[in-house]
Amino acid sequence: MRIATWNVNSIVPRLPRVLGFLGETAPDVLCLQELKTTTEKFPLAEVEALGYEVAAYGLGRWNGVGIVSRVGLSDVVRGLPEEPQFDGAAEARAIGATCGGVRVWSVYVPNGREPDNPHYAYKLAWLSSLHSLVASEISAGPFAVLGDFNVAPTDADVWDIALFAESTHVTPPEREALARLRKLGLSDVFPRPLKYDHPFTYWDYRAGNFPNNKGMRIDLVYGNAAFSDAVKDSYVDRNMRKGKGPSDHAPIVVDLDL
């Protein structure tokens, strides 16, 4: 089975790239983040024409998640149980489904903005709700949480840690939230680098960041033992970050022998 995850940074303008990725890389399951559209406006017909089922969850412009699968799509859940809201509004940041016997969750963790911003407290509360969800489902066979976590697990996961000293994504509370997830029994499926020493997944659009590999590893695949033990290969598809009009993230592709 091949499972991938990708923050597409708006599904509508990125649709040709997504369709090309589905056709060329042929994942059995693709988790999507940052759709920037509503559930109703997801380009369903185009994806289904390639033989995939779709479960989407979008409430507006700034978030949205989805799962597309050609190996079945059942037990779909939109949102986390008892997840917090921001400014009194729900956000579409998590969707779960069972695909080919694997339980997957596509997640788009809040950015946090700055450590003194209310969005940072929201981020930590949201990660706490994710912890509760994982604790309730981790024992139900192969299980993985995939997506844009907006947290770099270690200093090696950013291109220059000195530049992030006062920033979100690397603060101790955020990293401790990831460590708490791992303590439940999740492993970080670390992608192998195909060109550079570090398999970054995100590069800011500023000129030179991508070709100079000034990036971050904030897109993650966390799997339980039944999932992680089946992993045969994993990599960051840097080609999807190249060319005209890409997302600022690249997909992670994971091959499993289940």
Q: Do the beta carbons of residue 85 and residue 79 sit within 8 Å?
A: no
| Binding-site residues from annotation | 7, 34, 148, 150, 248-249
Kindly provide the b/e burial profile for residues 175-207, where b requires at least 16 CB atoms within 10 angstroms of the residue's own CB. Answer: bebbebbeeebbbbbebeeeeeeebbbbbeeee
Active centre residues (catalytic): 108, 148, 249
Tokens 């033990």 -> residue: 229
Joined tokens for residue 140:
């139900």
